[in-house]
Amino acid sequence: MEDIRGNVETRLRKMEQGEYDALILAESGLVRLGLEKSIRSKLEPPFFLPAVGQGALGLEIRRADQRTAELLLPLNDAATFAATLAERAMLRELQGGCSAPIGALGTVGHSTLTLHGRVLSLDGKHMFDAVQSASIADDPECLGKAVAGELLSQLRSQGQKLASTHAGAD
């Protein structure tokens, strides 16, 4: 694994010239640049879990600004909000930061929120997975804490510790 610099076209050219065997790039960027033909495979669930809160958009307003809150209310997607709450609660319970090898994916279907959490050992040799579901009407943060508890139990049983560089949810 090596860092690579330069714009997308430069990175792709370096790979084509044999400087790299593979690249991991954002699909959205390749599509936006009209370079979809460069995509050979996608890192998708369940093989690859995104970072906590990936793809969710958060808006911050003043606490007392009821007018803005009311204007923004229609933009809130309840399923995404619940999934993000569960994911962030899991990360917070694990005391993981932005550099910790933690992935999560909350999904909603048929009034059920499912949270898939994953922790990797720092050397990448061990993977710990937990999946739990609850009613979307239940507290999503409780689900996140439950998944974190299961992951921590697995880590302890294998003598592993979760080392994070930044404690607390980012």
Backbone angles phi, psi at 18, to 5 degrees: 90, 5
Q: Give me the pLDDT at residue 119, please.
A: 96
Distance in angstroms (rounded) separating the CA atoms of residues 7 and 37: 17
Q: Do residues 90 and 144 make contact, with C-beta atoms less than 8 angstroms apart? A: yes
Count of CB atoms situated within 10 Å of the CB of 109: 10
**What phi, psi does 116 have (nearest 5°)?**
-110, 120
Q: Which helix or strand (DSSP H or E) is residue 66 part of?
A: helix 66-72
Give the pLDDT score at 163: 60
> Rounded mean pLDDT of the chain?
91
Task: Report yes or no: 85 and 144 within 8 Å, Cβ to Cβ.
Answer: yes
Q: What is the rounded average pLDDT of the residues 14-27?
A: 94
Phi-psi region of 20 (alpha: psi -120 to 50; beta: other; left: phi over 0): beta
Domains of the chain listed by start with CATH number: 8-38 (no CATH), 66-157 (3.30.160.40)
Q: Return the percentage of the chain with pLDDT > 70, whole number.
A: 95
Mean predicted confidence (pLDDT) in 37-62 = 92
Residue 124 CB contacts under 8 Å (≥ 6 apart), including other chains = 101
8-26 average pLDDT score: 94
Q: How much is the pLDDT for 170? A: 42
Q: Which of 81, 143, 79 is nearest to 117 (CA)?
A: 143
In this prediction, residue 164 carries a pLDDT of 52
